[in-house]
Amino acid sequence: MRGGAVDLSVDFAGIKMKNPVVLASGTCGFGRELAERFDVEKLGGLASKGLTLKARDGNSGVRIWETPSGIMNSIGLENPGVKGFIEKELDWFGSLNTARIVNLGGHCLDDYLEGVSLLNDLDFDILELNISCPNVKQGGMNFGVKTEVAREVVRRVRGVCRHRLSVKLSPNAEDIVELARACEEEGADGLSLTNTFLAMAVDIYRRRPVFENTYAGLSGPAIKPISLRMVHQVARGVSIPVMGIGGISTWQDAVEFIMAGATAVQIGTATFIKPDVALDVIEGTAAFMKEERIESLEEIRGSI
Amino acid sequence: MTDTARMSRVLSNLQLSRDFFLMRVAEPNEAKMGQFYMLRSWGMYPLLSRPLSVYDADPETLTFLYKVVGQGTKLFSGLRAGDSVATGRALGNTFPVVTGRVALVGGGVGIAPLYLTAKTLKKMDASTRLDLYLGFSDEAVLCGEFEKVGDRVVTDVGGFITDRISPEDYDWVLTCGPEAMMRALYGKCEKAGTKLYVSMERRMACGFGVCLACGCDTSRGRKKVCVDGPVFPAEEVFI
Ligand SMILES: Cc1cc2nc3c(=O)[nH]c(=O)nc-3n(C[C@H](O)[C@H](O)[C@H](O)COP(=O)(O)OP(=O)(O)OC[C@H]3O[C@@H](n4cnc5c(N)ncnc54)[C@H](O)[C@@H]3O)c2cc1C
Ligand SMILES: Cc1cc2nc3c(=O)[nH]c(=O)nc-3n(C[C@H](O)[C@H](O)[C@H](O)COP(=O)(O)O)c2cc1C
Ligand code: FES
């Protein structure tokens, strides 16, 4: 808008964000490494590595495998645990002037609840509840597949959680719109979707799966069209805001997700290739708005 | 997406043997012995950049020695002088500065980081005795170059380079190569009471510490090869 300024800010469940671009959990650590490369406070937000109640070393064997236009990972939620996060990372992470999103995963309901209560009094903006990590055994995934199981987890977590609560959905859900609605009914303030897609690779010479867990999570441009479709369906089916995730690597991708109904977007895999790609997405989106004379993202959100 | 990444101009890209290439690029740098870069010479696909160790460096240029094994290295091998390659910045820790009697042991393309290492150690202390042991599976490359930076160069083609070294002759051994080779060397060094440093290799997605793909179990817990390594004291990783 020649002369006029574009407004990139968005409101996600009452959290005011400078712009809609967030770094996805598990792809930016706690922001420290990236802060050495660019000003992370220019981001709309930053989602922490997925925490679990207890520290985890993650999976052994191959952890990453490239596919045409994507990667599969089997990191297995390696993380310092909720207490480790509070001791070692919170001072830094909590002081960032950007939306601070703490991602929490779990293997059982009690772990989630205990994790939430440990985090309850701390200063950050959104608790992102990961009910969808494909890389931990003991059912981490199951929470995100069946609507009624997800409903129960969200209800119980909502009962104790004092932060804004965004539920991170699995694309492997049996019925993602129905599951999203259940989350909304149980009091989720927002939704993040999608996580990685359950996938597989075979080492034909060893005649074995590449990954020790057989299956791993697919991310990157390969999943973008499917995630986009899911975001479109879910955004139309609920009234809480959605963070669109899946293969976003350019500002055009981000704008697609916003037009499909996302309030904000998260960038994951693309950061591995270009650490400051999120800044390109922010700048590109702003330039596009100027060129198209869009004053606020609300004008295009969910326009299709 | 990578358009704004740091691009370096290829100065030369020489084929040394059937699958070994030496590529020199113009890039101001402060790269140190044992460090690596995440390189790409293509746009979006293949998705990930490829880690390559610094073979040689001066303030204006970087040289990489690589072996063609798959699609990324195949693409590198097609580069010509004047083409561009995205380099980014030097990553990882470095080999330690050691003096006295030093052996550098490389297996296959694992010889890559040893050239700058030899050069650096000699420059830091000219009295250091520096022997190089280079093992190849089918054809030896760059021996003449290594002779310029070491006091003695022992090569082996087709056998086990670890059979050729007596660790008791050295105060320090630094190595890079297949893990099985480095483990065998550790066995010998341990017996001789000689300190060994190894450069580890893991699949990497980011190369700068955020993806956790490159986890390596050590006696000090799980470490990231890309930022805590690639160089580790052998006794920490071969437990
Ligand atoms: C710290 C470090 C330093 C290295 N230095 C050198 C060097 O100086 N010269 C050299 O020739 N090679 C080096 N390598 C190995 C080199 O990175 C791989 O050979 C290269 O990535 C293979 O890519 P590709 O596309 O040709 O093979 P593909 O098999 O097509 O690659 C598929 C994927 O697997 C990964 N991959 C495949 N083989 C390896 C491997 N051995 N190690 C790590 N990732 C792998 C690739 O990066 C890519 O993501 C180094 C590896 C590491 C981790
Ligand atoms: C290496 C890696 C680790 C991840 N770790 C987590 C995690 O700890 N918690 C989580 O909710 N999602 C995790 N994810 C999923 C991402 O946050 C994101 O949902 C997914 O990768 C899709 O986005 P992308 O295609 O932009 O990468 C991880 C993804 C990758 C590639
Ligand atoms: S390669 Fe990503 S953390 Fe080491």
pLDDT in tens, B5-31: 678 999 999 999 999 999 999 999 999
Query: Which is nearest to A259 in space by CA: A279, A226, A236?
Result: A236
Whether the pLDDT of residue A79 is over 70: the answer is yes
pLDDT of residue A140: 46
How would residue A4 be classed by pLDDT, with cut points 50, 70 and 90? low
What integer best gives the mean pLDDT of chain B?
A: 95
H or E stretch at A71:
strand A70-73
Pocket (CB within 6 angstroms of ligand 3) = B 204-207, 209-214, 224, 226
pLDDT at A19: 98
pLDDT bucket at A137, cuts 50 / 70 / 90: low
- CB environment A93-109: b (16+ within 10 A), e (fewer): beebebbbbbbbbbbee
Sign of CA dihedral B145, B147, B151, B157: positive
Residue B77 CB neighbour total at 10 angstroms: 17
Closest C-alpha residue for ligand 2 atom 23: A246
Helix (H/G/I), strand (E/B), else coil: A173: coil
Query: Taking all residues of chain A, what is their mean pLDDT, rounded to a whole number?
Result: 94
What is the percent of chain A where pLDDT is above 90?
A: 90
* Position A285 pLDDT exceeds 70: yes
d(CA A9, CA A16): 7
Cα(B160)–Cα(B158) distance, integer angstroms: 7
Burial of A68 (0-12, 13-18, 19+ CB in 10 A): exposed
Q: Do B209 and A33 touch (CB under 8 A)?
A: yes
Give tens-digit pLDDT for B86-130.
999 999 999 999 999 999 999 999 999 999 999 999 999 999 999
Angle among Cα B120, B121, B125 to the nearest 5 degrees reads: 115
**B contacts of A277 (beta carbons < 8 Å):** 1
Residue type, B9: R
Q: In which band, very low, low, confident or very high, does the pLDDT at B4 lie, cut at 50, 70 and 90? A: very low
CA-proximal residue: ligand 1, atom 20 (nearest): B50
The residue among A52, A54, A167, A41 whose CA lies nearest residue A100 is A41
Q: What is the pLDDT of residue B1?
A: 39
With a cut of 80, say whether residue A240 has pLDDT above it.
yes
How far apart CA B36 and CA B29 sit, in angstroms, is: 12
Task: Answer for the pair A148, A186: CB distance below 8 angstroms, yes or no.
Answer: no
| Least Cα separation, residue B1 to chain A (angstroms) | 6
Q: How far is B145 from chain A (nearest CA, A)?
A: 33
pLDDT digits (tens, 9 = 90+) for B160-174: 999 999 999 999 999
Alpha-carbon torsion (A218, B223, B221, B186), positive or negative: positive
Tell me the C-alpha distance between A224 and A40, whole Å: 24
Mean pLDDT across B149-156: 95
Per the DSSP assignment, residues forming a β-bridge with B37 are B52
Segment B207-234 mean pLDDT:
96
Output the pLDDT for position A107.
82
For B194-208, write each residue's pLDDT tens digit.
999 999 999 999 999
Å from CA of A105 to ligand 2 middle: 12
Residue by residue, DSSP assigns A78-147 as: -B-HHHHIIIIIHHHHHT-SSEEEEEE--SSHHHHHHHHHHHTTS--SEEEEE---TT-TTTTTGGGTSH
What's the pLDDT score for residue A139?
43
A5-44 pLDDT per residue, tens: 799 999 999 999 999 999 999 999 999 999 999 999 999 9
Q: Taking CB atoms and an 8 Å cutoff, what residues of chain A touch B211?
A: 26-27, 64, 73, 75, 272
ipTM for this model: 0.93
Name the band, by pLDDT with cuts 50, 70 and 90, for residue B237.
very high
